[in-house]
Structure 1
Amino acid sequence: MSTAPPSSSPLPPPAPPRPRPSGEKPGLVADPVVRSLGLLIVVNATGNGLFLAISTLWFTRGLGYSTGQIGLALTLAGLCGVLAAYPAGRSADRYGAKRVLAVLHVFQAAAMAGFALVDTYPAFVLLACAVTAGSRANAAVRGALYAHSLPAATRTPALGLLRAVNNAGIGAGAALGAGVAALDHHGAYQAAILVDALTFLLALLPLRAVPAVHPATGGSAGRPGAADRTGGSDRPDSSGLPGRRPGALRDRPYLAVTALNAIVNMLYVVLEVALPLWLAGYTSAPRPLVGVLLVLNTVLVVALQVRASRGVTELPAAARAFRLGGLLTALACVTAAAAAHRAPAAATVILLAAVLLLTLGEVTSQAGSWTLGYALAPDHAQGAYQGVFQTGISLTQALGPVVVTTLVLPHGTVGWLVLGAVFSGAALALPPTARRAERHRPAPPP
Structure 2
Amino acid sequence: MTATEPAADQAAPPAPAPNPPAGLLARLLPADRVLRRLTWITLVNTVGTGLGMTLGAVFFTRIVGFPVATVGVVLTVAGACGVAAGVPAGRLSDRFGPKPVLMVLLVLQAVCAAGYVLVRSLPLFVVLACLVAVADRGGSAARGALFAEVLAPDARVTGRAYLRSVTNIGLSLGTVAAAAVLQLDSRGAYVVALLVDAVSYAVIAVLYGLLVPVPARTAAQVEEAVSGPNPALRDRLFLAVTGLNAVITLQFMMIEVGVPLWVVRNTDAPRWMVAGGLLVNTALVIVLQVRATRGTEEPAAAARIFRRGALLVAASCLVVGLAAGMPGWVAAVVIAAGVALQALGEVYSQAGAWALSYDLAKEGAHGAYQGVFNTGMSGALMLGPVLITSVVIAHGLFGWALLAAMFAAAGWGMTALVRR
Question: TM-score normalized by structure 1?
Answer: 0.88
Aligned residues of 2:3 and 2:217 also touching (Cα < 8 A): no
Correspondence for 1:228: 226
Aligned residues of 1:148 and 1:215 also touching (Cα < 8 A): no
Q: Which shows bigger deviation, 46-55 or 326-335? A: 46-55
Correspondence for 2:351: 367
Aligned-partner residue type, residue 231 of structure 1: P
Aligned residues of 1:28 and 1:158 also touching (Cα < 8 A): no
Equivalent residue runs for 1:61-80 within 5 Å: 61-80=62-81
Equivalent residue runs for 1:75-94 within 5 Å: 75-94=76-95
CA–CA distance in 2 between the matches of 1:199 and 1:264?
30
CA–CA distance in 2 between the matches of 1:28 and 1:47?
21
Aligned residues of 1:36 and 1:209 also touching (Cα < 8 A): yes
Aligned residues of 1:408 and 1:416 also touching (Cα < 8 A): yes
- Identity, in percent, stands at 43
Aligned residues of 2:305 and 2:349 also touching (Cα < 8 A): yes
1:260 deviates by 0.2
Correspondence for 1:9: 4
Aligned residues of 1:216 and 1:380 also touching (Cα < 8 A): no
Correspondence for 1:211: 213
Correspondence for 2:394: 410
1:230 deviates by 4.6
1:216 deviates by 6.6
CA-atom RMSD in angstroms? 1.8
Aligned-partner residue type, residue 12 of structure 2: R
What SS does the corresponding residue of 1:285 show, helix, strand or coil? coil
CA–CA distance in 2 between the matches of 1:425 and 1:172?
36
Number of residue pairs matched by the alignment:
406
1:59 deviates by 1.5
1:184 deviates by 0.7
Aligned residues of 2:3 and 2:219 also touching (Cα < 8 A): no
Correspondence for 1:179: 180
Correspondence for 2:338: 354
Residue ranges of structure 2 left out of the alignment (5+ in a row): 15-27
Aligned-partner residue type, residue 213 of structure 1: P
Correspondence for 1:121: 122
**1:281 corresponds to 2:281:** no
Q: Structure 1's 217 and 49: CA in aligned 2 closer, same or farther, altered over 3 A? A: same
| Segments of 4+ moved more than 3 angstroms | 12-15, 17-20, 214-219
Give 1 or 2: higher helix fraction: 2
Correspondence for 1:101: 102
Deviations 1:322-359 (A, max 9, x none): 00000000000000110111111111111101100000
Which of residues 234, 239, 244 is equivalent to 1:260? 244
Deviations 1:236-293 (A, max 9, x none): xxxxxxxxxxx21121111000000000111001000111111111111111211111
CA–CA distance in 1 between the matches of 2:60 and 2:7?
50
Aligned-partner residue type, residue 288 of structure 1: W
Deviations 1:169-216 (A, max 9, x none): 111111111111111110110010000000001112431221222457
**1:400 corresponds to 2:384:** yes
Correspondence for 2:20: none
1:228 deviates by 2.5
